[in-house]
Amino acid sequence: MPVQSTLIGPGGQLYADPKPSPDEDAFQVDNTSNAYYNSPYYLKHKNQVQPIPPPRTGALPYINLANYLPASLIQSINQAGRIVFHSVGDTGAAKTGKQQTAASSLADEAAVADAMVAEVQSSGEAGPAFFFHLGDVIYEFGEAQYYYDQFYEPFREYDRPIFAIPGNHDGMVFGQSSSAPQVPTLAAFLTNFCSASPDPSPDAPTMTRSVMTQPGVYFTLDAPFISIIGLYSNVMDTGGGIISSQGGHFPLVNDQLTFLTSELKRLKPQHDAGKRAVLIAVHHPPLSVDAKTGGSGGLMQDIDACCKSANLWPDALLSGHAHLYQRFTRTINGRQVPYVVAGSGGYAATPPQTAAPPAGTTIGDHTLEIDPIVDFGYLTITSDAKSLAITFSTAHRNQPVQVRDSVTVNLQSGKIITSGASKTSKQKTVKAAKAGKKKPASSR
Ligand SMILES: [Fe+2]
């Protein structure tokens, strides 16, 4: 295979492996962490929040994409007048039942990752500039030893920075003592996404990708034409997302309300001048009709209160956690705001509730726009700061990548101008997701 030229960031960051190995079809480290659900610490504390690590000392709460991509690529994005990026959550791979093999769980994740890689490779500088991960990078307990199999190996050909907010699985902890976890919450996430410098990952030292240098587990990414405010919604599995004590219910040392409000205020002048779209990303979905978790009312109230205080509402809200694709429209002060759930990154697809309302149903201020799509896939998001387009493509094994839904919002009028499921399931011009590639036994 010829050596490819791969990006080097301005801080020396490395992304894609220049000589990628074939897909693996077995875990390098066998994933046995299902057993931790029965550990004394988890059983005693599973309905409690975990502490939120403070941001790195001296770090601003926001980072700029220009510090992660070569200046020439940033210049191309500015000249094109728009930015494109990927987003999805719940990409990890772990066996979820007796019928699932390691190979099939890895292939589910690889189908999505490979399709995203293909989109980057086929569209070059006009294509996705980064991937914003919506959490649940590593199953089941965010362990360091699984970063190779579940993150670095699947995305080894993705030649762009990958930012992430943690999901509940990244923060969940276990231990044989009921009084303290074996490993502190988010330890491996901090190592791999919130490092002080872009070094090789100690959890995947043979891989090219540098660790990410986010200021903390909640932060804002400023990119040309768009900012994404990422929140960390803690470790509850079925109890919903939590970013504050919710009136003293959850004894959080630090909440994220001050951060969210101040970031919205910081971004409001550029947003209102039509120079920057503003999105909020949070792992647990405020709105969801999935069968397992449902929505998060307390989280919704907290985010709403910050938006009211800052007098700025997001142009869209992105979530994962529910392992399917859903799209709602919420009407806020006359503006139509997509609330998109894309926990479809490859791990354990979840069906919608059997009593889920049909597409088109409006409840209060929000409408379920399409029937949920239970399939693996990812979002491609485009903005020129005047409009915002969100597309969901499926990347199932042995099938071509297909655009299944899209929505475009005019950010000046606040109205959705086009939307809907693709009538023809338009096939993307990127290559089909790879499937079934075998790794030579001697390659690793
Ligand atoms: Fe989750």
Peptide bond into 125 cis (omega under 30): no
The reported pLDDT for the residue numbered 2 is 43
CA of 89 to the centre of ligand 1 (A): 8
Instruction: Please give the distance, rounded to the nearest whole angstrom, from the Cα atom of residue 125 to the centre of ligand 1.
Output: 32
Token pair of 314 as six digits: 């997001």
SS (H, E, C) the chain: CCCCCCCECCCCCECCCCCCCCCCCCCCCCCCHHHHHHCHHHHHHCCCCCCCCCCCCCCCCEEEHHHCCCHHHHHHHHHHCCEEEEEECCCCCCCCCCCCCHHHHHHHHHHHHHHHHHHHHHHHHHCCCCEEECCCCCCCCCCHHHHHHHHHCCCCCCCCCEEECCCHHHHCCCCCCCCCCCCCCCHHHHHHHECCCCCECCCCCCCCCECCECCCCCEEEEECCEEEEEECCCCCCCCCCCCCCCCCCCCCCCCCHHHHHHHHHHHHHHHHCCCCEEEEEECCCCCCCECCCCCCHHHHHHHHHHHHHHCCCCCEEEECCCCCEEEEEEEECCEEEEEEEECCCCCCCCCECCCCCCCCCEECCEEECCCCECCCEEEEEEECCCEEEEEEEECCCCCCCEEEEEEEEECCCCEEEEEEECCCCCECCCCCCCCCCCCCCCCC
Q: What is the pTM of this model?
A: 0.94
pLDDT in tens, 334-354: 999 999 999 999 888 888 888
Q: Which amino acid is at 101?
A: T
- How far is the centre of ligand 1, averaged over its atoms, from the C-alpha of 403 (Å)? 24
Spatial distance between the Cα atoms of 42 and 187, rounded to a whole number of angstroms: 16
pLDDT along the chain (444 residues), means of 10: 75 96 87 89 94 92 98 97 98 77 86 96 95 97 96 97 98 95 97 98 97 98 98 92 91 86 98 97 95 89 97 98 96 97 90 87 95 95 98 88 96 93 54 40 28
Compute, in angstroms, the gap from residue 424 CA to the centroid of ligand 1.
31
**Rounded Cα–Cα distance for residues 84 and 160 (Å):** 12
Centroid of ligand 1 to alpha carbon of 110 (angstroms): 19
Q: What values do phi and psi take at 52, rounded to 5?
A: -100, 120
What's the confidence (pLDDT) of residue 87? 98
Instruction: Give the pLDDT of residue 235.
Output: 96
Ligand 1: centre distance to CA 242 (Å): 12
Strand partners for 368: 328
Question: The dihedral of CA 252, 254, 256, 261: what is its sign?
Answer: positive
> What tokens does 231 get?
């929140």
Q: How far is the C-alpha of 245 from the C-alpha of 414, rounded, in Å?
A: 32
Torsion of CA 396, 402, 403, 404, to 10 degrees: -60
**What are 252's two structure tokens?**
């959080």
What is the pLDDT at residue 443? 27
Ligand 1 centroid, distance to 90 Cα (angstroms): 7
Q: In this predicted model, what pLDDT tens digit does every residue of 268-294 receive, in sequence order?
A: 999 999 999 999 999 999 999 988 888
CATH superfamily label, 33-421:
Metallo-dependent phosphatases (3.60.21.10)
pLDDT of residue 420: 85
CA dihedral sign, ordered 315, 321, 327, 330: negative
* Residue keyed to tokens 């294509």: 127
Domain ranges within the chain, ordered by starting residue: 33-421
Give the model's pLDDT for residue 237.
87
330 Cα–ligand 1 center, Å = 22
Report CA(136)–ligand 1 centroid distance (Å): 5
What is the model's pLDDT at position 303?
A: 97
CA 222 to centroid of ligand 1, rounded, Å: 25
End-to-end CA distance of the chain: 17
